[in-house]
Amino acid sequence: MSSWTHKKNIFIETMCDGYTFQKAFRIALVVGTMLNIINQGDFIIHMQFEKINYFKFILTYLIPFFVSTYTAININMNPKVGGKLIIPATLTCKGCNASVHVEKNTPIPQCSHCKNATQWKIK
């Protein structure tokens, strides 16, 4: 399976993962509410709903949601020693090009050659 296919699968798995969605939703709710209070709090507190910019209001929730989801995807696409993959994949060491196959939810090992300097990439 090609690197692109693995990355596409990681992207889809992360986006569809209930945990990632819940976490991103909570972050968006907290951060979006705080930013909306900062940016449009006067209108909200004084119940001047006609003055609220609803495009900005909704965007203020969407941006933190997408940023946190992007962060989760990025973390899953850059495997680290001790971390776990969300799909089975073959990893290649950036230092010595050694390969290892890692199953889903199995701890990622160190490279047998590079030890503590291991940096993996998805093959």
Closest CA to 115 of 86, 88, 92, 95: 95
Rounded average pLDDT over 63-86: 93
Q: Which residues contact 97 (CB under 8 A, 6 or more apart)?
A: none
Q: What Å distances lie between residue 41 and 38, 44, 50, 71, 87, CA to CA? A: 6, 5, 13, 28, 43
Global confidence as pTM? 0.77
Confidence band of 8 (pLDDT split at 50, 70, 90):
confident
Task: Note the pLDDT tens digit of each residue in 54-71.
Answer: 999 999 999 999 999 999
**CA dist., res. 83 & res. 39, Å (int):** 38
Residues above pLDDT 70, as percent of the chain: 98
